[in-house]
Amino acid sequence: METNQDRTTAAPGLGRYEIDPAGSTVTFTTRHVFGLLPVHGSFAIRSGTVDIVEPLTASSVRAEVDPASFRTGSRQRDTAVRSARFLDTARHPVMTYTADRLDGTALTGTLTVCGVTQPVTLAIENSASSAGAFTARATTRIDRTRFGVTASRGMAGRYLDVRVEVRCVRP
């Protein structure tokens, strides 16, 4: 049986890293139509930094996600979710995740969506380091109603199972 320890390699070298938007994604799965149909989608990571420090537990992350990049493959649904009824991307053009605590394979921080900030812990499932770069994959479950995104209760899924994959490089 594979454990988190088996899947996680040594920490990257100390210093500041930039998140490479071209090599990074936020994907999610949720349910639609009273929970009957699965929906898969994505957001683009706009930018971010990761500071690896000693002790490693004090390392930090700041990432910006573009809510207007919301995509599920359904033009009608994507337009509706970007509208004022859901993400209101005109008024809230960025979602942010900041974390300042790394406990083993858990990254503890806050997520801000639609001007509402809530605690979110990412479970780091995999990481790999190379000279001047590293990649990481983490997951979490988000309750959209905690961020005030409450339209279409029952029709649109309440929970999003989120997977974040980042590639970080030294500037």
Q: Which domain holds residue 21?
A: 4-169
What is the model's pLDDT at position 156?
A: 79
Residue 2: pLDDT band with limits 50, 70, 90:
very low
Tell me the pLDDT tens digit for each residue of 115-163.
Answer: 999 999 999 999 999 989 999 999 999 999 999 998 777 677 889 999 9
Which CATH number belongs to the domain containing residue 18 in this structure? 2.40.128.110
Considering its fold, how many domains does the chain have in total? 1
CA dist., res. 152 & res. 166, Å (int): 31
Is pLDDT at 33 greater than 90 in this prediction? no
